[in-house]
Every structure is written in C-alpha cells, then in structure tokens.
Amino acid sequence: MATRTRYAPDRGLTVRMTVTMFLLGLVFVAFVAAIIGALIAAHQSAAFIVVIALVFGGGSAFISLFYSDKIALAAAGAREVSPQEMPKLHGIVDRLCALADMDKPRVALAPTSMPNAFATGRNSKNSVLCVTEGLLNSRLGLSDEELEGVLAHELSHVAHKDVQVMTIASLLAIVAGLLVRFAFYSEIFGGGRRNNNQNALPIIAIIMVVSVVVYAISFLLIRVLSRYRELAADRSGALLTGQPSALASALTKVSNGMSGIPTQDLRTAEPMNAFYFAPAMKLQRGGGRGEGGSSLSAIFSTHPSLEKRIEQLAKIQAQLNDVSPGAKGLK
C-alpha cells in the first residue's frame, strides 16, 4: 500500500552529493594508479614509503573512527550527563529518538561559552550527542523548540552516519598528506645511501608531487561533501520535528551568538569543526564583505552559508504545508 508522503527526497542535493563522491572516488583511483605506476619501476625504498603511509594513514583513521566519541568528548572537555541532572535535555532527545525510531545516543555537556552542539561516534549504539553550556545559556535565548531543532540536526548526523562517511572520505587526504611528508624526509635523509639506485630520487619526487595535488583536490572535495551533508542534516532534522522555522531561527541565533566570542576560544575548537552545528571559526574576511574574500571562504568552509541553510528550510516549510501532497494521486 503506497501512502501519501510529504517527505520527498531532495533530488538536487542527492545529485550534487553523488557527483562530489564520484569525483572523490575518481581522485582516489587516479592516485592509486599513479602510485602503482611509480612503483612498477620501483625500488624497495619507494614501496616502503607508500606502505608505511598506508598503514599509518589507515591506522590513524581507524583509531579516530573507533574512539571518535571519546576523542571528541575529551577534546571538548565534555562530560556525560544523566537524565536526573538534565531532565529537559534528555526528555527532548528521548522524544526525538522515539519519533525517528533510533537508538538514543549518550548525552554530554561541554563547559564552553560558545553556543554549539556536535554528535559523533562510530555507530548508533556508541554515539554521543554533546551540547555546550553556551547553547543552553539563557543569554542566547534559545527556546525549547529551537533547541529541539538543533538536537534533531545532530541526531540526523548520527542517522546519516556522517562520522563514518567523512572519515572514509578523509582517508585519502590523510594518506596523501603522510606520503608528502615521508617522501620529503626520505629525500633529505635517504639521499646519500642510494648512490647505486639512480632512479629512486625521481620516483620519490613524482610520488611527492602527485600526493600534493591529490591532497589539495581531495581537501576541497571533502569540504564540498561536508557542506552537502550539513544541508542534508538540516533537512532531515526539520522534517523530523516538523518545525523548519524553529531550526532556521536557532541557526540565526547560534551564528550571531558565536561572532561575539573571543578568537582564542574559537581556535581551540577548530579541529572538530566538521561535526559542529555551526562552524566554530569563520575564515577572516578582510574588512567588510570583500567579494573575492567571501567566495574563497565559501570554498574552504565546512558549513554552507547561513543564507543557504535558511533558504532550504523555507522550501521545506512550503513542502510541509502543501495542501495536496503526492499530487500524483495515491493513497
């Protein structure tokens, strides 16, 4: 039995995200091909570097994924809170999880004055949802519905397995970055010992150049992917609560609340930017809104602009209020 639905998927977003992932995969294949090509003519020293980079890169990615909840909580200085300590917060999460039919994540509180929230964890059973004290602070003036919107956004990240997807997507950049470093050191320190291997140096140089290019491209693609996944989480969060406007107004408040916080505090939170509700650090825009500056910062940003996010939520609002859903007619 087909039922009416008001929750049509966003084709455009799906297509854009697929293209980004395809490009990322393409870069990956090209990268592997280039490395294998270099290794065919290769020498143990070059092969050794690649293997070490793969082991280190893969290992660190696996560890950061496996312990992502603990690492993130430690980095944010957060601690878990029980339902007795914060009944309201737990109550909202309880209801959202029942509505979405998902496992309830642990709930944590970070003693930061910057209003923000993040969710992380390797799977739904081990995930943790963390909010900062600044988010709950009455000075920010977030209403319960707005707070619910923020939490629904974070729960959507958990449901979409964004930590896993982004870790795998970043794997390539990590390995490429390590290769650059290892190749660089082996040129410096290993050069003297390889007099009998005249080919070794150019091959290592090639690997290094390829890795730099791959690193740069995949870095940009990961940022693009991150922005699309933020939009996807906004979308799912708004559909879950049925209150897109509350989420939009929460976004506005959190973004405004963040601009007044000292830079020192923001920088320390920067490494975990990708999992935050709103970006913790904005790229410096010289003076006013320089046109060149703002487009550059848009490319490097992990989050879409506030305007874009609010625009999407307005569309969802219209969709939810469509009087005749599924006009194609069926029930």
Partner 1 sequence: MGFLDVLLGRTKPVQPKLDDLFALPSAAIQLQAATGFTPTGSGSVCFRAVEGKTFADIQKEVRELLDLDNSKPGGGGLPVEVTKDSYGFTWLISNHMSDEVDTLVTDLHAVNSALVDNGFGPQLLCTMVAFADENHRRMALVYLYKRGTFYPFAPVNEGRQQRDNALELQVKGVLSEDLKIEPELNRWMALWGAPGL
Catalytic residues: 154
Q: Does 11 bind partner 1 (CB under 8 A)?
A: no
Stretch in the footprint of partner 1 (CB under 8 A) among 71-79, 237-245, 279-287, 289-297: 237-245
The least CB distance from residue 48 to partner 1, in Å, is 34
Contacts of range 146-149, beta carbons closer than 8 Å, 24 or more positions apart: 146/246, 146/247, 146/249, 146/250, 146/253, 147/89, 147/92, 147/250, 148/92, 148/96, 148/241, 148/243, 148/246, 149/237, 149/238, 149/241, 149/243, 149/246, 149/247, 149/250
Closest to partner 1 by CB, 112 vs 218, is 218
- Tell me, residue by residue from 121 to 150, as one string, x for binding to partner 1 by CB under 8 A and - for no binding: -----------------------xx--x--
Stretch in the footprint of partner 1 (CB under 8 A) among 97-105, 179-187, 264-272, 275-283: 97-105
Among 215, 228, 275, 277, binds partner 1 (CB under 8 A): 228
Q: Does 3 bind partner 1 (CB under 8 A)?
A: yes
Please give the biggest Cα pair distance in the chain.
Answer: 79
Closest to partner 1 by CB, 150 vs 183, is 150
The least CB distance from residue 210 to partner 1, in Å, is 27
Residues of this chain, 62-91, that bind partner 1 according to CB under 8 A:
83-84, 87, 91
- Tell me, residue by residue from 20 to 39, as one string, x for binding to partner 1 by CB under 8 A and - for no binding: -x------------------
Among 26, 33, 99, 299, binds partner 1 (CB under 8 A): 99
Q: Does 10 bind partner 1 (CB under 8 A)?
A: yes
Q: Does 252 bind partner 1 (CB under 8 A)?
A: no
Among 98, 216, 283, 296, binds partner 1 (CB under 8 A): 98
The least CB distance from residue 91 to partner 1, in Å, is 6
**Residues of the shown chain interacting with partner 1 in the complex, contacts defined by CB under 8 A:** 3-7, 9-10, 14, 17-18, 21, 83-84, 87, 91-92, 94-95, 97-101, 104, 144-145, 148, 156, 159-162, 164-165, 228-229, 232-233, 235-236, 239-246, 317, 320-323, 325-326, 331
